Structures are given as structure tokens and as C-alpha cells.
Structure 1
Amino acid sequence: MSSKLAVVTVTFSPGEHLEQFLGTLAEATKEDPQVVMADNGSTDGAPEAADAAHEHVRLLRTGGNIGYGGAINRAVAEIDDEIEFVVIANPDVRWAPGSIDVLLAAAERWPRAGALGPLVLEPDGSIYPSARQVPDLVSGAGHAILGTVWPSNPWTAGYRQENETVSERSVGWLSGSCLLMRRAAFDSINGFDSRYFMYMEDVDLGDRLGKAGWLNVYVPSAEVTHAKGHAAGKHPELMLPAHHQSAYRFQADRHPHWWQAPLRWALRGGLAVRSKIAVAAAVRERRTNQNEGGTTHGN
């Protein structure tokens, strides 16, 4: 086994994505990394099958669905201390050949990089904006309120960095769907904040890395494809409230003073209303799609 690199992922009934993840991983690096799967309660048998089929893959049961960041922390804790780099990735990522080695080479060029992230492609080949600014209260609110009804608004455009040249550069934070992290950087900030059940944990991680003196470096010469949300998209009534709760936690943590309490109250109330509207819209859309599917296919 390599003494330089390990790979960790969180599984929650990942289905066929997991085998694609492991199969393409073999072409992503010349290293021979141990893979730790932190399983949050899968019921499809995919993690068990991968554990049995791959000698370098280890299944770690977390005992329940403890969230993404908490499960990653558990997995990293199992890795030998001498491992210098840890790849953190969703199990629905497919690796381009050599992609991890490109990230490792970039880490040599950027000795202050705590996290390095690749160019993330959608399944249709379009680029996902995975390298972004850390949202402040104004830009975060503008994006949250207007992002769906006015996608080109200046707050969303600035936050998502979609108009930036695709180039290797330091950014505010990187998508947690795929990261190469220095173990020293991960340990220096105690990893992910496990209070985030899902969403925003990567924004928080990148922000805390920056405040601790590390860089978040976007490396678009490394490429991965992310199926994105195979588990989350099935349950909007659970995932959308979690997203809004995480958005509140992120801003509340950064506005903690007693005199900022009215701001926190307004933020909590506004996000709660927005969450209810978003859930109702998602449920309506799902019902419409199901009805159209039923008519089309005669079910």
C-alpha cells in the first residue's frame, strides 16, 4: 500500500455508482491507495459487494446516518498517521485517467494548499461551478433569494464564479464532491464540522482552512465527472430543509455576538419560509413528473 495517499468516501445505497467510482479510480493514480468507505446505513448491498471484491477497499460502518462530514471524519480517523494526502470524494464520482496524480503534482506546486479540487463535469459534459467565493451575508442572501428566479443576478454570478477564466488559482472554497487534502491541513482544523448533516459543510471547511492560513486551490487540469445528488434528489422534503438549516448555521456561526441576535432571528425566519416554499415546489414538480411518466408509459 502507498504511504502517501488514501481515499475516503461516504456510502448511502450508492448502487452502480460505487463500482464505477472504484473502477475508474484505478486509472486515476499510479499510487496504490487504501480506500475507506464510511457507510451511513446502505440497504442496497453495494458497499458490501465492493468490500468483498476489492482487496484495497475497507468498509467502515458508522452505525447510522451521521451525515456526510461526520462520516468523512470517522473514515479519516482510520487512516495511518503517515499518510500525507487524503482524497475525499462522493461515491458517484467517475475519475478521468491520471486525475489524482495531476492533483498531487499541483500540491507540490502549491505547498500552502490545504485542499485542491479538480474541474467537475456534469454527466452531460458541462462544467459544474465547483470553485467559489465564500458567501458573506449580503451575497449569500442575494443568491438564496434570487438564484432560482434570476440565475444571472450579480450575487449568484459572483458567488459561483462562473465568469472567471478556467485556470489554476486560489479560491474561497471547493466542492466537497471531490477534494485532495493534506492530512496536516485536515487535522489542523479538526476536519469537517459534524454539526452540518448535509450541505454547506464544504463551504465551512474551505472558509476555516483559509482562516487557518491554508489555501483552497482549483486545479482544472484534473477532471472528474459527478452524477450529483443520486441520493439527495430522491427526498427533497428532507434534503431541502437540511440545506436551509446548514445555510443558517454557517451565517449564525459567523455572526455570534449578542447584538447580532436580531439578524440571526431574521435569517432563521427568512430561511424557514424559503425552505417551505422550495419543498412545496419540489414536491409539486415530482408529482407532475410522475403523472407525466405514468401517462407516457401507461403505468
Structure 2
Amino acid sequence: MDWGIPPGGVVSSVEVETTVPALVSCEVKASPAGTAIRLKRAAGLRRCSGVSVVIVNYYQWSNTRQLLRQLRDCSAWSQGQVRVVVVDNGSSGNVWIDTVGGIRVRYESRNLGFAAGVNRGVRELDRWRWGIWKNEGQIQEWFLLLNPDVTVPAGFLDAVLDMIEKLDTEEPRAGVVGLRLCNPDGSLQGSCGRFPTFGSTLRGLLRPRAWRKCQMLNTQQRQEVDWATGGCLLVRRDCFEQLGGLDESFFLYYEDVDFCRRAKAAGWQVFYEPRIAVTHHWPLHARSVPAPLRLITRHALMQFARKHWGRWSNLGLRGLVWLEALCREGWSRLRRRYRDSACYHQLRQLVGDMHRQRQQSIRQQLAFASRYLRAIAAAQDRVPAEQDHLDKNL
């Protein structure tokens, strides 16, 4: 298995830009709603807004390719208002060989983590001129962070562009917008929440997993929230640049909560927009959490607490995580699940390393856990049967 490296590590990369004609038409059948949006935008297009999509891929090429096909089903793509960067986080066994305009792929040699992957995707965008970005003049640009295991409806990016153009007038301090997430059966999925505290973390242990971190806001009106999930997140470029991007000390999880907290502290607003919905197939709370992934999620929570909680809350959380790891380590040994036992032993060591701020050792613990993420990610690379057929251009 491949070992990952901690965020911010030194990597080599191969950068690939596809070469095709500047405009690519969308020939996928659109829904009536998607067609209405296209007609509206064609009637009076303002070339001042653009969306740059960043997808961090890790052994989910089938999901990523399907998502790219769906994103192209919009008029904004053919008019050059959309560009997509895929950051492949060390799973470049399936080398990209297709040529599709508006898509650029950056290959990393190792797993950098989600936050570092997004930051490198944005740096790639800064060197790339595509569509409206070829022209001189001011562009109101938003970054759209998408997980590979998300599916979107026809005309999705047209709807996103309409929304952000309205936001510029209605909410000029909007810096982050989370969209409505749905489960594959159409039910509502939690996609935003309140900033976690030590007290709320303890109370969450008594709740179902779907309610521990996220809230389910059953509303049809845009409203301000504390934070929104990074699996489908719009970020204004000005906000992203002011905050210096995502914090790469988070390998996976809680980087979105941290970013929203820093955005609010800097005077930006964070919104939940339920009128644009996508389907998220593999949320963390809906699947089992193997020991390596649990180590990574606990690191993310402790890192958030170190940055934003007080001293005693930090100590309480670390003690709770250490005790949990001890119990799980013993139980795993009794069941002869020695790999799990080793992960929980490493988690106990991680607690001590974070208390003493031993950065090198922390990176080693994350590297130990990340070596197992490949199988976890690959197991989720399953396209729904009704969407198995991919556009031959992708």
C-alpha cells in the first residue's frame, strides 16, 4: 500500500492541460428546469461572473469522470464561464488521456490531504487562462469545491452562476455558501452546523451519527449559518485569498469548519442555500468508520480544538480521545483485529504528540493512517447503475 504524506509536504507533480477548441457544446439531454435556465442566461449573459470548480480525486476516477460529464451539461460551459481543475492526490494509475476543453488535471505523486489538494488546485487556476479568464477586466470569481462522490442535475452550474450574481447585490459580504445536500433516496442530508464546542461534542455522543456534527435545515430560504460542509462549497475568491486558503494542518475533515470560522472572524458571511441541491452518495455518518479513518477524524477534531477552544476544553477532549482509543485498542486485541489495535495505539500516541506539539511525530501518525485510505476510497468508486454509461468524450 502507498503511504500518504502530511499536508504541506514536498511532492513532485505532473501538470496536464487538455487541448481542444475553446468552446465545447453540451449535447446531454437537459431537464425542463435546466433548459429554462439556459434560455434565461442566453437572453442576457453578463460575462462578469465565473465559477472555477476544484475536485480533489483519490482513487475515484469513475465518480470523477461521471461528475465532469454532468458539470458540462450547461450553457455556462460553452460560453467559457466555467473551468475545472481536478487534483489527483496520488492515484494517477489511470492516467488522463482524454481531451476536453475547460478541464485541467494536476497529478500529485502522493496523498496531500484534502486541504492541501484544494490549495494546489487554486494555484493551478492562477496559471491558467480559459474562457472569460482570457480577457482583460474584472471577473467576479467563485471557487466551487466538490467531492467526487457528488452527482449534480442538468443546468447545475447555470443555476449556481445565477445565484452568485444575485448574491453580489443582495449579500455583498457573502464569502461562503453551502448548497443543499440530499441522500441518494432524495431525503435531506445534513450539510451545515454550529461551531463545535467541548460541550456539544459530549452531547453529540448521545445522538445519532447523522446529527452529531451537522444540522438538517428543512427550509427553502437562504439563511446564515456557522459553517457549511466542504463536500459542495462555494467560496468567493476574495475571501479565499484573504484567509490564505484552507489550513493544511488539517489532513481530512474539519478544514471546512475552520475555514468558515476564520471567514466569519474576518467579517465575511456564511450562508446555506437550499434552492440548489446535489446528491452526496457517501457521507461519513452513513458508513462504517474503520480504525485508520477514525484516527484521521480524531486528529481533525483535536486540531480544530487546539486552534479555537480554551485550554481546559482542549485537555478534556484529548483525555476523552485517549480513553476512547485505549478501550478500542483493547477490544480490537480481544477480537484479534491487530491492524485496528495498532491504529488505536497510534491514536493514543497522537494525543500525546498533539499535547506536546511534536509536529514530526504527528505527521508520522497521519502517514501511518493514510496508507489505508486507498482501499476505503476505492470502495466508494461505484457509479449508480442508471448513470453507468459515460459520455465517450470523458
TM-score (norm 1): 0.79
Separation in structure 1 between the aligned mates of residue 296 and residue 191 of structure 2, nearest angstrom:
20
Identity %: 29
**C-alpha contact 1:240 1:275 (8 A) present in aligned 2:** no
What is the deviation of 1:129? 0.8
Query: In the alignment, which residue of structure 1 is the partner of 2:121?
Result: 75
What is the deviation of 1:19? 1.6
Unaligned runs of 5+ in 2: 1-21, 23-46, 128-132, 134-138, 338-394
Query: In the alignment, which residue of structure 1 is the partner of 2:254?
Result: 200
Query: In the alignment, which residue of structure 2 is the partner of 1:293?
Result: none
Residue in structure 2 matching 1:8, options 45, 50, 54: 54
Separation in structure 1 between the aligned mates of residue 92 and residue 144 of structure 2, nearest angstrom:
25
**C-alpha contact 1:86 1:182 (8 A) present in aligned 2:** yes
Residue in structure 1 matching 2:91, options 38, 42, 47: 42
Tell me if 1:209 matches 2:209: no
Separation in structure 2 between the aligned mates of residue 203 and residue 139 of structure 1, nearest angstrom:
14
Taking the TM superposition and a 5 Å limit, the aligned residue runs for 1:1-299 are 4-27=50-73, 30-31=76-77, 32=80, 33-42=82-91, 44-45=93-94, 48-49=95-96, 52-80=98-126, 84-107=141-164, 108-109=166-167, 110-143=171-204, 145-148=205-208, 156=212, 160-162=214-216, 165-228=219-282, 236-255=290-309, 260=311, 262-275=312-325
| Cα pair distance change 1:233/1:277, threshold 3 Å | farther
Query: In the alignment, which residue of structure 2 is the partner of 1:292?
Result: none
Task: Tell me the amino acid that sits aligned with residue 180 of structure 2.
Answer: L
| Cα pair distance change 1:73/1:277, threshold 3 Å | farther
Aligned length: 268
| Cα pair distance change 1:165/1:71, threshold 3 Å | same
What is the deviation of 1:63? 2.6
Secondary structure of 2:300's partner? helix
Task: Tell me the amino acid that sits aligned with residue 173 of structure 2.
Answer: R
| Cα pair distance change 1:103/1:55, threshold 3 Å | closer
Separation in structure 2 between the aligned mates of residue 277 and residue 119 of structure 1, nearest angstrom:
37
Task: Tell me the amino acid that sits aligned with residue 16 of structure 1.
Answer: S
Separation in structure 2 between the aligned mates of residue 28 and residue 234 of structure 1, nearest angstrom:
36
Secondary structure of 1:79's partner? helix
Separation in structure 1 between the aligned mates of residue 98 and residue 327 of structure 2, nearest angstrom:
44
What is the deviation of 1:235? 7.2
What is the deviation of 1:197? 0.5
What is the deviation of 1:164? 5.1
Secondary structure of 1:35's partner? strand
Determine which structure has more spread, i.e. the larger CA radius of gyration.
2
TM-score (norm 2): 0.61
| Cα pair distance change 1:21/1:122, threshold 3 Å | same
Of residues 24-33 and 72-81 in structure 1, the stretch that sits farther from structure 2 once superposed is: 24-33
Query: In the alignment, which residue of structure 2 is the partner of 1:291?
Result: none
Task: Tell me the amino acid that sits aligned with residue 170 of structure 1.
Answer: E
What is the deviation of 1:85? 1.4
Separation in structure 2 between the aligned mates of residue 25 and residue 222 of structure 1, nearest angstrom:
14
Secondary structure of 2:144's partner? strand
**C-alpha contact 1:244 1:272 (8 A) present in aligned 2:** no
Separation in structure 2 between the aligned mates of residue 105 and residue 93 of structure 1, nearest angstrom:
21
| Cα pair distance change 1:248/1:44, threshold 3 Å | same
Q: Which has the higher contact order (CA 8 A, sep 6+)?
A: 2
What is the deviation of 1:111? 1.8
Separation in structure 1 between the aligned mates of residue 237 and residue 185 of structure 2, nearest angstrom:
33
